[in-house]
Structure 1
């Protein structure tokens, strides 16, 4: 599962997380610890980060990873099989924007072996875009969730562009 890091701790902290609940009873830190190693300024003294389950992947601060699916189809190359495809809605309070894309996390079970861009282009001029709410006005889209169709194509919902995108792969 993904979760969003707490706001108001800075531009680069804490990271959003991809977590794996591989057994019962795990504690993933909230509200005491963020990203596995950052104590919360208000609640951190109540529980040490060392007693919590760290994320399998730090996704980046304020990317707002809202939805994901595990790809089980056959349309895309075999390297996508069982990978997590993650919708990053995008930041609203960083001095430079983050997120606004769809990522793919390849795993070998409990470990992420690669984390890379699947679909980008929702934030033109990312490197020069202003931060904060001004960034959201420049966005051409904000991915919310992903869904695999029976034919193996991927649907991506976009609540800023009021659309659903379909991504397919032709060999």
Structure 2
């Protein structure tokens, strides 16, 4: 199923942003007057995995640029634990991580410091709630929205997956 959405988001700290998701092309674009433009793209010719909005969690098949400059994006494999759904970005001497917190939400960290929570169901619509004690910068905003739109947010805890698997085995 192809999803192409372009959503205007009113971020509480940085104003109006545009979040564009094209699942067929495998591309997420985040831009706004007060934030750097981020483009997350799946390599051409790579078959998309339908449950991942950008189409893959293979870092070598993804490109992330910040205002045209390439950054390093490293999604984890996405297996049993919530930590296995983390996505890291390294750029300009910083490391950002989007990590599932609950079934619907993921937290954004910069250099290990928690900045806020993101929610996205993989349809290109993203919401963010910044922590009161955080001072997110423009780059934090762009990275958070791009990763949430590209990979979705949240994950079930391992115990729920185990219970589901056991339930599937019982006739």
User: Please, what TM-score do these two structures have when normalized by structure 1?
Assistant: 0.29
> Going by fraction, where is strand more abundant, 1 or 2?
2
Greater relative contact order (CA < 8 Å, ≥ 6 in sequence): 2
> Going by fraction, where is helix more abundant, 1 or 2?
2
User: Please, what TM-score do these two structures have when normalized by structure 2?
Assistant: 0.29
